[in-house]
Amino acid sequence: MSVKYTYWEWNNSLSLGISAIDSQHRRIVDYINELETARIANDKIGISQVLIGLIDYTMTHFAFEEELMQLGDYPYLNAHRQSHESFTKRINHYVEQHENGVDISRKLLSELKLWLSEHISRDDKHYVPYVKKCITQDWLSNTLAKFSTLNMFSLNN
């Protein structure tokens, strides 16, 4: 892919001040831009590939966040988990449609951006004070080792 398009630009208002989480959120934004690039190029195989990576990465990121909330005894973990689960269901519905040959990329992009920006600035921001002081280097390296998908991020900027 030569020309890259930007659908959603990361900005610091989305930052939670927890570098592991911030870099995962940035990688998701990166995936969204890769999806936009494949969509504009009308690259159907590219769209499928990005979708697989985006979904795998996002699900693993959710699991990572849930471990983090558990670490911090976050009292609203169940509600947050439910929010992750219902979003996952919606995304899987898009994937099904995509597999049936429906062009869902534009709708999916808009939903991803809307849901994620709201989720990060409202739900994720809420757990920060509960978890921030609990993160140790040991916990971080053990948990990142467990969720190896998250280690494969490479930001191009």
Tokens matching residue 150? 């998250």
User: How many degrees, rounded to 5, is the angle at CA 128 between CA 127 and CA 129?
Assistant: 100
**Cα separation values, 82 from 6, 67, 125, 138, Å:** 30, 14, 16, 28
Query: At closest approach, how far in Å is the CB of 3 from Fe ion?
Result: 32
The 102-141 site mask, x for binding Fe ion (CB under 5 A), equals ----------------------x-----------------
Query: What would the two tokens of residue 128 be?
Result: 């920060």
Min dist. Cβ of residue 36 to Fe ion (A): 22
Nearer to Fe ion (CB atom), residue 37 or residue 65: 65
Is residue 34 part of the contact set for Fe ion (CB under 5 A)? Answer: no
Choose between 30 and 65: whose C-beta lies nearer to Fe ion.
65
Minimum distance from CB of 97 to Fe ion (Å)?
24
Whole-number minimum distance, CB 156 to Fe ion, in Å? 24
Name residue, tokens 């670490």. Answer: 71
Q: Which of 15, 154, 146, 152 is nearest to 71 (CA)?
A: 146
Burial 132-147 (b: 16+ CB within 10 A, else e): eeebeeeeeeebeeeb
Give whichever of 34 and 65 is closer to Fe ion, judged by the CB atom: 65
Report 50-89 residues binding Fe ion (CB under 5 A). Answer: 65
For Fe ion, the closer CB: 42 or 70: 70
- Residues at the interface with Fe ion (CB under 5 A): 65, 124
